[in-house]
Amino acid sequence: MSIIQAKNIYKVYNETHVPVHALNGVDLEIEKGEFTAIVGPSGSGKTTLLNIIGGLDLPTEGDIFIEGTNLKTLSSRQLIDFRLHNIGFVFQAYNLIPVLTALENTEFILELQGVSKKEREKRAMEILKTVDIADKRDHKPGQLSGGQQQRVAVARALVSQPKYIIADEPTANLDSKSTEELLTLMKKMNEKFQTTFVFATHDQRVMDKARRIITIEDGKAVKDETFER
């Protein structure tokens, strides 16, 4: 069974005033271990789709199933809990908690999950080593470069071993070297842990690494290609 199953998704913003039809009937299935990019012109609905996949927003019509759970049936509290235990997030603007160190930012999710202090430090350190930023464990986000912050963000998304990770334009604020490193890292994680990655991106370098590219235009999936890489 696929991890993510989107069925005939419509999303209308501003229903009462000037309605914006952001998604117009998207069907989508994503399998475990995929490394998939959602691409398309600006305003085509990539972010909207990703937010729905990530349980941050609900479709106006249609259903989104995560391993058989219909997100529409969850209360807003349950939805937060669902995100905590199943989904990892990497944002465009890194969005680490500014007052916490790299290590604490990584531990934060585990703390929310109620993991013991010792255990979460161990796991957070491990993952920081894997993303190669362990030497900066005690630095706050303000003291890290964009690329380093984004690696901590990936560590934070990975540390709880979520079913999948969504990343909206994760490389948009990075230079090409950092982009290259981050992509290599995510690919490595994808292969090592079989973690599913779904990106929204404009970035050709991301598309070049993706094994599947879904193109949307005007809120519709118009192309779905797979590549052997």
Ligand X SMILES: Nc1ncnc2c1ncn2[C@@H]1O[C@H](COP(=O)(O)OP(=O)(O)OP(=O)(O)O)[C@@H](O)[C@H]1O
Minimal distance, residue 59 CB to ligand X, in Å: 13
H-only helix segments in 33-93: 46-53, 76-86
80 lines the binding site for other proteins (CB under 8 A): yes
Minimal distance, residue 79 CB to ligand X, in Å: 18
Select 201 or 215, whichever has its Cβ closest to other proteins.
201
42 lines the binding site for ligand X (CB under 6 A): yes
Minimal distance, residue 65 CB to other proteins, in Å: 19
Minimal distance, residue 17 CB to other proteins, in Å: 15
DSSP state of 71: G
Q: Which helix or strand (DSSP H or E) is residue 70 part of?
A: strand 69-70
Q: What angle do CA 199, 200, 206 make, to 5 degrees?
A: 65
83 lines the binding site for other proteins (CB under 8 A): yes
Whole-angstrom distance, CA of residue 54 vs CA of residue 115: 23
Listed ranges 38-46, 78-86, 182-190, 202-210: which one lies at the site for other proteins (CB under 8 A): 78-86
Whole-angstrom distance, CA of residue 41 vs CA of residue 165: 22
43 lines the binding site for ligand X (CB under 6 A): yes
Helices 146-158 and 117-130: angle between axes, nearest 10 degrees: 130
Select 187 or 202, whichever has its Cβ closest to ligand X.
202
47 lines the binding site for Mg ion (CB under 5 A): yes
47 lines the binding site for ligand X (CB under 6 A): yes
Minimal distance, residue 160 CB to other proteins, in Å: 9
Whole-angstrom distance, CA of residue 76 vs CA of residue 107: 24
51 lines the binding site for other proteins (CB under 8 A): yes
DSSP string for residues in 158-208:
HTT--SEEEEESTTTTS-HHHHHHHHHHHHHHHHHH--EEEEE---HHHHH
Number of residues that bind ligand X (CB under 6 A): 12
Footprint of ligand X (CB under 6 A): 13-14, 20, 22, 40, 42-48
